[in-house]
Structure 1
Amino acid sequence: MDTSRHTMSTLFAQLGLDNDPKSIDGFVKQHRLPDEMLLSQAPFWNEGQRHFIEESLREDADWSEVIDELDAMLR
């Protein structure tokens, strides 16, 4: 079992995205979500990323907190 604390950087790495602070900031500036759209429904995710986000939130996995943080950042 993974007991490490997940950060925004580790989430981006898990999603296969560049995970340095400048890349994360650029991603957030480039991608905005309307309030009514679920994070997992965003058009910029590929199928694997979408599945990871949906499953992590559904199972209230260790990743849920940082995924929720990303969701808030994209609003």
Structure 2
Amino acid sequence: MDTTTPTLETLFDQLGLDSDQASIDAFVEQHGPLADDVKVSEADFWTPTQQKFLKDQMQLDAEWAPAVDELNALLHETK
């Protein structure tokens, strides 16, 4: 049984995205900042499968929720 706490890096892996720090930084730079009224799971750059995963994790307060919340915060940061 895997008891590893999901991280931002493993979330990117789960979403099928490159998960090294440079790739994460580039993703956030390319897609952020999101408008205040846009939930991370509703952003238009996700595939339907990615959107469903993100939405489900937040609604269920599942194990991935903290990593999704971290991504949400990063994508809403203004520089």
Task: Give a deviation string over 1:44-74, Cα, whole Å, max 9, x none.
Answer: 0000100000111111101000100100000
Matched residue, 1:27: 27
CA distance in 1, matches of 2:26, 2:66: 21
Which stretch shows the higher mean deviation, 59-68 or 2-11? Answer: 2-11
Task: Give a deviation string over 1:16-40, Cα, whole Å, max 9, x none.
Answer: 0011110000000011110011111
**Normalised by the size of structure 2, how large is the TM-score?**
0.90
CA distance in 2, matches of 1:53, 1:3: 20
CA distance in 1, matches of 2:36, 2:3: 32
RMSD, matched Cα:
1.0
| 1:1-75 to 2 correspondences below 5 Å | 2-32=2-32, 33-75=34-76
- Once the two structures are TM-superposed, the CA of residue 3 in structure 1 deviates from its matched residue by 2.2
CA distance in 2, matches of 1:57, 1:20: 23
Aligned length: 75
Q: Which runs of 5+ in 2 are unaligned?
A: none
Identity %: 48
SS in 1 for 2:3: coil
- Which aligned segments of 4 or more residues in structure 1 are displaced greater than 6 angstroms? none
Q: Which runs of 5+ in 1 are unaligned?
A: none
